[in-house]
Structure 1
Amino acid sequence: MAMLAALHFLLPSLLLLQLTSDCEIIKPSGAHHRVQNFVIVVNSLPDKMCPATLHTERHFTAGEVVRDIVIGMSDGLTVPFALAAGLSGAAAPSSIVVTAGLAEVAAGSIAMGLGGYLAARSDADHYENERKREEDEIVQVPDTEADEVAEILANFGLEPNEYWPVVEALRKRPEAWVDFMMRFELGLEKPDPARALQSALTIAASYIIGGLIPLLPYIIISEALEALKVSIVVTLLALFIFGYVKGRFTGLRPVWSAFQTVFIGALASAAAFSIAKAISA
């Protein structure tokens, strides 16, 4: 019963660690994940577990993609907007604003995308280095690592008679043991191999889309100051919508997030316009 209580308490995580390989585990897909309740079959193979019931929950799991969109879109809306406002304050014609703006969007998207790629690669390299260290430690100092597992489980409120069977089960499964230490000792999860390229493309595309919005009025209207007025309205509206949607996805209050995003964009553009106006005066 102690073993059952311990496994039931840590069930979602232990399933991910695949403490059993005899029963098929359904892996997460899209915005859903499946949590299976298990029962222990008391027979000649007492440590084997098979699914009893299936419970499906809905969760939003595209957090990394949303983060990349937020990074790219927020900078894409703000930086070209501030640049266009600054050039307009310096009395530059619309054609100059468009040319400089498009050049900035191109350079910015490349720089932001490259930054996202390097950050994701750094996360992947860090994970692999830490995993290699954990693999070495469970071989070189297995008792110490086992004590660390026991300490982690004890922090969840389990008693020694409940968590020691789990510790012994993990010691028999080195791969699952390392997975457990990566997840619960270091707080690291294995990155998606395609994450780096996906992050780079998402950030770059979001930056381009965001950057074109404040430039569209300059493409249509030849008078720079008139284009600036339209650009202010269009961009602030886009910032408000973007901030609202960002708040919905990130758990912030949508209206507060919207006004915060608008304030930052307006402040940046006003500062750029004022500085350019003062320099050109």
Structure 2
Amino acid sequence: MASESTKLLIGHKEKHFTAGDVVRDVIMGVSDGLTVPFALAAGLSGAQASSSLILTAGLAEVAAGSISMGLGGYLAAKSEAEHYQRELKREQDEIINVPDTEAAEIGEILSQYGLERHEYAPVVNSLRKNPQAWLEFMMRFELGLEKPEPRRALESALTIAIAYVVGGLVPLLPYVFIPKAQKAMYTSIGVTLAALLFFGYVKGRFTGHRPLLSAFQTAFIGALASAAAYAIAKFVQAP
């Protein structure tokens, strides 16, 4: 029976997507990178700034934004790891000090999956004999916590920062090649909206949402932000 199960598992290939944290960081970095410098460039264009000034301000914002976003991702991941360690220590103490209560909690968790007492009792007894497995079971099924990767904080910071820079350079590129800010702005709008549509579509494919809807939602948010910045700049400049 065991060998038959092993054969089935070997022949079965799962196709689940497992890089959720990395994709989340890329989405966060690129979406903000595309939107914030885009809105800044549009606002400065509305204020009649020159292409060189817009480019300088945009690059400064990309640098500051990537550092800020990367640091935010680092701190968030560190906080998550610290929270996991606190809960792990608390759960370890409870298993040592109130083992019967913790064992009863195992039964309660398994009963939620439709198992009767006579069905889950052997599982409870087996876990009690293996403290490490017991601890991992409680962390995952009682608290819903997964053990963070040791390098998660640094990887998250770098991923978000690099993604922000990549996204942020897209709306600024036209200002490199087109000296007149107004013309550069129109080109930037076209390039950035195309990038937002593409990014939104890819994001939808990875996250399981409808790609076309995701594409239009992402582009709409970016367009709204830039339009608001442009309108505010025009309003402030109005006599």
TM > 0.5 fold call: yes
Greater fraction helix: 2
Q: Does 1:198 align with 2:155?
A: yes
CA distance, structure 1, for counterparts of residue 89 and residue 114 of structure 2 = 29
2:14 alignment partner, SS class: strand
Q: Which has the higher contact order (CA 8 A, sep 6+)?
A: 2
Could you report, residue by residue, the CA deviation over 1:17-51 in whole angstroms, capped at 9, with x for unpaired residues? xxxxxxxxxxxxxxxxxxxxx849xxxxxxxxx94
**Unpaired runs of at least 5, structure 1:** 1-37, 41-49
Amino acid at match of 1:163: Y
Superposed, which structure 2 residues align to 1:1-281 within 5 Å?
39=2, 51=6, 53-54=8-9, 55-281=12-238
CA distance, structure 1, for counterparts of residue 161 and residue 74 of structure 2 = 10
| Backbone CA RMSD of aligned residues | 1.3
Amino acid at match of 1:170: L
CA distance, structure 2, for counterparts of residue 270 and residue 215 of structure 1 = 16
1:52 CA drift (Å): 5.7
1:200 CA drift (Å): 0.3
1:56 CA drift (Å): 2.6
Q: Percent identity?
A: 69
CA distance, structure 2, for counterparts of residue 219 and residue 156 of structure 1 = 60
Could you report, residue by residue, the CA deviation over 1:177-223 in whole angstroms, capped at 9, with x for unpaired residues? 00000000000000000110000000000000000000000011000
1:159 CA drift (Å): 1.1
2:25 alignment partner, SS class: helix
Greater fraction strand: 1
CA distance, structure 2, for counterparts of residue 58 and residue 270 of structure 1 = 41
Could you report, residue by residue, the CA deviation over 1:30-87 in whole angstroms, capped at 9, with x for unpaired residues? xxxxxxxx849xxxxxxxxx94642331211011100000000000000000000000
CA distance, structure 2, for counterparts of residue 94 and residue 56 of structure 1 = 53
CA distance, structure 2, for counterparts of residue 56 and residue 128 of structure 1 = 33
1:267 alignment partner, SS class: helix
